[in-house]
Amino acid sequence: MHRQLKKQASCVLPDIGFNRNDMAELIEIKVNGEKHRIEAEPDMPLLYLLRNNLELNGPKYGCGIERCGSCMVLLNGKAQPSCVIPGAAAAVYEVTTLEGLAKNGKPDLVQEAFIEEQAAQCGYCLNGMIMSAQALLAENKNPSDIEIRQALNRVLCRCGTHTRIIRAVKRAAAKMNV
Amino acid sequence: MRKVKSFSATRRAFLKSSGHLLIGFQLLPALVFDPKQTDIINNPVADAKVIDAWIRFDTAGILTVITGKMELGQGIKTALMQIAAEELDVAMKDVRIIIADTGQTQDERYTAGSGSIEGSGNSIRNAAAEARKYLLQLAAKELNAKVENLTVSNGIVKSTNSKTIAYKDLIKGKRLETEVTGKAPLKKPAEYKLIGKAIPRADITTMALARQHYIQDLRLPEMVHARILRPPVYNAKLEMLPKEEVSKLPGILKIVVNGNFAAVIARDEYQCVKAWNALKEKAQWQTSLISPLPKELYDTILKTGSAGETVEENASVDKNLSEAAFTHEAVYKRPYHMHGSIGPSCAIALWENEMLTVWSHSQGVYPLRKTISAMLEVPESKIHIIGIPGAGCYGHNGADDVAGDAALLAIEMPGRPVRVQWMREDEHKWEPYGSAMILHLKGGIDAKGKVNAWKTDIWSDTHSTRPGGNAGHLLAARDLEKPFSFKSGGFSGGSHRNSVPLYDFQAKKIVLHDFKGPLRSSALRSLGAYANIFALESFMDELAVKAGKDPVQFRLDHLKDERAKAVINMLVEKGGWRKGKARAGKVENFGEGFAFAQYKNNAAYFAVKAEVKIDPKEKTYRVTKLTGVIDTGQTINSDGVINQTSGGMIQAASWTMLEEVKYDQNGITSTSWETYPILRFEEVPDTEVFIIDHPDKEPLGAGEAAQGPTSAAIANAIFNATGSRLRELPLLPEKIDWEKIS
C-alpha cells in the first residue's frame, strides 16, 4: 500500500518565505510493513525520516554518530542505529521501529517483559534496549548473561537500569520458550 | 497577519481533535479543551492552602493529583498518586496526575535534592486526608450515619447500615475549596493497602509502546526547527557569521544573530542541522583561552581557594590530634563530572498574541518563568511554562538553557512553535558540570583504637547555578548584545553536604574553601556529597586498616544512631562480609569494600558493599557486584526505591571508575561518548538492593543516597584486592600499583 504523507502534501507555509529544496528526491521505503513514498533529501539520515516524516516516536536522537543506540531500529531484523544511514540507503531494507513490534496496540513479548520488570527509569534508552533485545532473541532464544550484555553493549543507559534490563531480556526469552 | 490567524485556527482544530494527548502532554492552557474536562484542567492555580490546589475529583470520579514537581524518570508521578489514592481509598486506575505547569500547579520550586516525597508528597497527603474528612462528613449526612461508622473502598463510601455513596456523587464535579488544616486524621500505617507496595509505573508502558511521552515527541502543527550555534569555548565573541551564504540553503527561514548568540531556524529539522553545520564550519570567533589547564587544575585550586569558612567545629581538633596515639592524613580529588543525559536538551516555545508558552523538561518551571521574564522583559503573567518529561537529567543540565534559547527564538518567529534541539556536543560542552573538588582529611586515633579527632578541608566551586530568576544564569542571556551577567552564589551548602561525619568522634572540624574553577558548574545528583563521602568513607577505611580493625566493625564502633547501625548490619547479613576469606585481600584476585552514609545527615540511610575482581595480567579490574541496603523511612513505592537506588549505584560506579570532563586551552574536548565514556553493559556490575521499611516514620527521598557511598566502597574494594589506595577520581586501572601484587 502506498501512502502519500499528509505532512509532505501540506508542507507549504505560504506566510513565510523559504528556499525551495531542489535536492529532494522521492524515497520509497517500507517501515513496519507499510510502504511509504517520501520526498526528502537523499542524504537525510533515516532517523529524521522516521521521526519527522513518519511521526514515529520509537527511535530517538541521542548522539548522531552511532555511539549511544537511542535511535536503534531493525533493518531486515538486525538491530542498527538509524542516525547516520541515509533514508535513501535504508530503503533497501525492511525497517522496523519500536512501534512495529506491538500488534493491535498489544505489546509483544519483549515489550511485555520490559513492562513487567519495570525496566526503565527515564526510559529514553528503552527503544534501543528493546530493539536490540528483539534482534538478539530472534537469533538466540536462550542467550547467556554475557550474550545479553554483548547484544546491548551499544546502547547507553544513564539512569543505571542495566540490572533489570538484563532481567527483562531473560524474562522475554523465557516467554518465547514456553 | 491574516495568515498567522489561519495558522492559529489550524492549531486549535488540532488541539480539539486530540484532547487525550493534551491531557497527557499538558500542552496549552485549557481554553480549547473539551468542556467536560475543563472542570479539572481549566482552572487558575489554586491557593496552596486549599484542597483544590492538590486534589480534584471530576464528575466521573477520577481523582486528579496536582504537583509542582517534575517527572524526571524517578517515578515521582506514581509515588504521589499512591499517596493520594491511599489516603482517599481510591483505586490506582482511577487516579491521574498533573505535573509542573505554571498554569496549573503550585510553585514548588525545583524538583531536586531528593525532596519531592518529603515536600510535595506531604502536601498531597495532608490535602487528601482533609478531602477524605470533608467527604466523609458529607457522606455521613447523605447516608444518615456517623462518620466513625463509614468505610471507603474504591472511592465508594459505605456505612455499617450497608448504604453506599460514591465520592463523585458527593462532589458532583465541584472543587474542594476547604482549607488544608494539616490536622485531618491520617491513615494508620497498619491500614495501608498501597503505601509501601511496588505499584507499576504506567509511564513505562507508554515508553515501551513508543507512545508520545517525551518533549522530543511533541509535534505542533507548523512547528519550525532551530539549532543554536554555541561558541567554540566559554566567553568567545562572534566575529563573522556566513549569514548570507547559509540563508540560501534549502528550508532556511531565519538566521538570528544577537550579540554572540546565533541560531538558525528552518522548516525541516535536517535542513536546520545542515545549516548549523555550515554556520559552525565558517563562523569566526575571537576566543579566550581556558585556564588553568587540567594538569595545573588541582594545584591552582589549592592556591586560589578562599581562606575558608568553618562549617562545623565541636571541640579542639588540634589538641586532640596532638594527643592521639597516631594520626593520618590524605588528600582526595574529584574531577569535573557530566550529567550526561542520553537525550540532549530540547524545548519548544510559541510567542503568540503577546503570550509566550514554553514546553520544557526543566526541573523548575516557576523559577524558569521568572528567569525568562527577566531575560525578555516580558511580565511573568504573560509566560506559561509547561513541564514535559525529557531524558533523565540528574540535576541541572541543559534543560533551562535550551528553554531560554527557544524563548528568544520564539520572539523572532511570532505565531510559530519553535523547537530547539541541542546537538550532542552542545550538551556535552555546555551543560554545567559537577564541580571538581579537593578534600584534605586528617584524623587521630587514640590508645583504644577510636577516632579522637577529625579534620576536613574542602575546596569546591559552586554546586548551584540554577537560574532561579537570574537571566545571567542562562547561556543565551550571557551572549546577547546587551548581556546579562552571571553572578556566582559564593559559599554554598551544596559544597559541604555530607562532609560532617555522622560518626561519634570526640572532635570534628570542617572548613570549606571556595574557588572559581575554569568550567561551568552546577547541581549534579547529590552535589558535594558525592566527593565528600568518597573522601570520608575512604578515609574511614584507611583509619580502620591502620588501627587494625575490621572496616565495618570500625564504623559500628563509632555510631550511636540505631537506624545507621541497622542498615550496616543488614548489609553484612545479606551481602556477606569478609567471611574470613578476603580479610587482607589475600583471596586470589578478589576484593570487597564497604561504605555508609546518611544522605545530608538527615535523610535516607544507605550502606553498600562493592566486590571487585582484578586481572593482574591485563592490569585491569571489574566491579562485579554492588549490594546496597537503604532506609528511606516510610517506603512509598518499594520498586521505585529499588530502581532509584540500584540506578544510583550504577551511575556512581560509572562516575567513579571512568568519568572526567576533558578540556584543553581551546575548549571542552569531551564532546561525545567517545571522549567521555560511561559504563556500558559489558562492564556494569550486578546490583542488589534491600530496603528497611519504617511504615511509622516520615518518608524520605531515595534519589541520591547511593552516589557517595558507592564511590568509596569501590575504592576500598580496590585497596582490599590490590593494596593500592586510589584517592584521585576516576579510579582508572593504570592508577593501581600492579607491581605490589605479583
Q: Which residue, chain included where needed, has cell 510553585?
A: B107
Confidence at residue B742, expressed as pLDDT on a 0 to 100 scale: 65
CA distance B54 to B128: 8
Judged against a pLDDT cut of 80, whether residue B23 lies above it is answered with no
Lowest mean pLDDT among B13-27, B269-283, B537-551: B13-27
Lowest mean pLDDT among B15-29, B472-486, B503-517, B691-705: B15-29
Judged against a pLDDT cut of 70, whether residue B24 lies above it is answered with no
Cβ under 8 Å to B: A residues 60-89: 60-65, 67-68, 70
Percent of chain B with pLDDT strictly greater than 70: 92
Please provide the distance, in angstroms rounded to a whole number, between the alpha carbons at the two ends of chain A: 35
CA distance B404 to B11: 23
CA distance A115 to A118: 5
CA distance B561 to B215: 44
Confidence at residue B55, expressed as pLDDT on a 0 to 100 scale: 94
pLDDT 10s digits, A67-116: 999 999 999 999 999 999 999 999 999 999 999 999 988 999 999 999 99
Q: List the grid coordinates of B434.
A: 559537577
Confidence at residue B586, expressed as pLDDT on a 0 to 100 scale: 61
Same CATH fold, B561-742 and B43-208?
A: yes
Task: Say yes or no for a CB contact (<8 Å) between A68 and B249.
Answer: no
The alpha carbon of B207 is separated from its chain's Cα centroid by a whole number of angstroms, namely 20
Q: Are B592 and B718 in contact (CB under 8 A)?
A: no
**CA-to-CA separations, B368 to B101, B486, B557, in angstroms, rounded:** 11, 16, 47
Task: Say yes or no for a CB contact (<8 Å) between A126 and B207.
Answer: yes
pLDDT 10s digits, B538-574: 999 999 999 999 999 999 999 999 999 999 999 999 9
The residue ranking higher by pLDDT, A152 or B34, is: A152
Distance from CA of B168 to the nearest CA of A (A): 31
Task: Say yes or no for a CB contact (<8 Å) between B650 and A48.
Answer: no
3-state SS, residue B120: helix
pLDDT 10s digits, B637-655: 999 999 999 999 999 999 9
Q: Are B451 and B323 in contact (CB under 8 A)?
A: no
Q: Are B88 and B63 in contact (CB under 8 A)?
A: yes
Judged against a pLDDT cut of 90, whether residue B338 lies above it is answered with yes
Judged against a pLDDT cut of 90, whether residue A161 lies above it is answered with yes
DSSP per residue over B499-526, as a string?
-S-SS--S-EEEEEEE---SS-B--BTT
CA distance A64 to B596: 40
Judged against a pLDDT cut of 50, whether residue A4 lies above it is answered with no
How do strand B95-98 and strand B63-66 relate by DSSP bridges? parallel
Among all residues of chain B, which has the CA nearest to that of A20?
Answer: B250
Mean pLDDT value of segment B672-682: 98
Task: Say yes or no for a CB contact (<8 Å) between B204 and A48.
Answer: no
Q: For chain A, how are helix, strand and coil distributed in percent, rounded to 5? A: 35, 15, 50
Q: Where are the alpha helices (DSSP H) in B33-186?
A: 35-41, 76-88, 122-143, 167-171
pLDDT 10s digits, A24-60: 899 999 999 999 999 999 999 999 999 999 999 999 9
Give the up-direction half-sphere exposure of residue A33: CA atoms within 13 A in the CB hemisphere. Answer: 6
Residue A156: pLDDT band by 50, 70, 90 thresholds? very high
Confidence at residue A11, expressed as pLDDT on a 0 to 100 scale: 36
Lowest mean pLDDT among B2-16, B138-152, B245-259, B715-729: B2-16
User: In degrees rounded to 5, what are phi and psi of residue B18?
Assistant: -135, 50
Confidence at residue A21, expressed as pLDDT on a 0 to 100 scale: 62
CA distance B711 to B643: 18
Query: Nearest CA to B541 among B529, B532, B550?
Result: B550
DSSP per residue over B341-369, as a string?
-SS--EEEEEEETTEEEEEE--S-HHHHH
Partners of residue B331 on adjacent β-strands: B440
Task: Say yes or no for a CB contact (<8 Å) between A162 and B207.
Answer: no
Task: Say yes or no for a CB contact (<8 Å) between B250 and A153.
Answer: no
CA distance A118 to B204: 7
Interface test with A, best of B7, B272, B342, B627 (most A CBs within 10 A): B342
* A172 contact B CB<8A: no
Among all residues of chain B, which has the CA nearest to that of A99?
Answer: B210
Q: List the grid coordinates of B355.
A: 503570550
Crossing angle of helices A162-176 and A145-152, in 10° steps, is: 120
Judged against a pLDDT cut of 80, whether residue B162 lies above it is answered with yes
Torsion of CA B189, B191, B196, B198, to 10 degrees: 180
CA distance A63 to B391: 13
CATH class label, B215-287+339-430: alpha beta
Confidence at residue A139, expressed as pLDDT on a 0 to 100 scale: 97
Mean pLDDT value of segment B39-45: 51
Partners of residue B457 on adjacent β-strands: B440, B511
Q: List the grid coordinates of B294.
A: 587540567
Task: Say yes or no for a CB contact (<8 Å) between B648 and A58.
Answer: no
* B342 contact A CB<8A: yes
| Residues in B touching A38 (Cβ below 8 Å) | none
Confidence at residue A73, expressed as pLDDT on a 0 to 100 scale: 98
Beta-carbon contacts of residue A66 (< 8 Å; ≥ 6 apart): A81, A83, A84
Lowest mean pLDDT among A165-174, B68-77, B251-260, B572-581: B572-581
Mean pLDDT value of segment B490-498: 83
CA distance B543 to B540: 5
CATH topology of domain B43-208: Aldehyde Oxidoreductase; domain 4 (3.30.365)
DSSP B659: -
Taking the domain B561-742, which CATH number applies? 3.30.365.10
Burial class of residue A15 (count of CB atoms within 10 Å of its CB; 0-12, 13-18, 19+) = middle
Query: Nearest CA to B724 among B542, B555, B583, B531?
Result: B542
Interface test with B, best of A121, A134, A161, A166 (most B CBs within 10 A): A121
Q: Are B649 and B608 in contact (CB under 8 A)?
A: yes
CA distance B629 to B302: 36
Q: Are B251 and B266 in contact (CB under 8 A)?
A: yes
pLDDT 10s digits, B176-222: 999 999 999 999 999 999 999 999 999 999 999 999 999 999 999 99
Judged against a pLDDT cut of 50, whether residue B3 lies above it is answered with no
CA distance B485 to B666: 22
Beta-carbon contacts of residue B295 (< 8 Å; ≥ 6 apart): none
- Which among A102, A120, A164 is the nearest to B207, CB-wise? A120
* B75 contact A CB<8A: yes
Query: Domain limits of chain B?
Result: 43-208, 215-287+339-430, 292-336+433-463+480-549, 561-742
Q: Which residue, chain included where needed, has cell 530502581?
A: B643
Query: Nearest CA to B288 among B232, B330, B335, B362?
Result: B232
pLDDT 10s digits, B694-730: 999 999 999 999 999 999 999 999 999 999 999 999 9
Cβ under 8 Å to A: B residues 422-441: 423-424
Residue B15: pLDDT band by 50, 70, 90 thresholds? very low
pLDDT 10s digits, B59-117: 999 999 999 999 999 999 999 999 999 999 999 999 999 999 999 999 999 999 888 99
Confidence at residue B30, expressed as pLDDT on a 0 to 100 scale: 32
* A25 contact B CB<8A: no
Taking the domain B292-336+433-463+480-549, which CATH number applies? 3.30.365.10
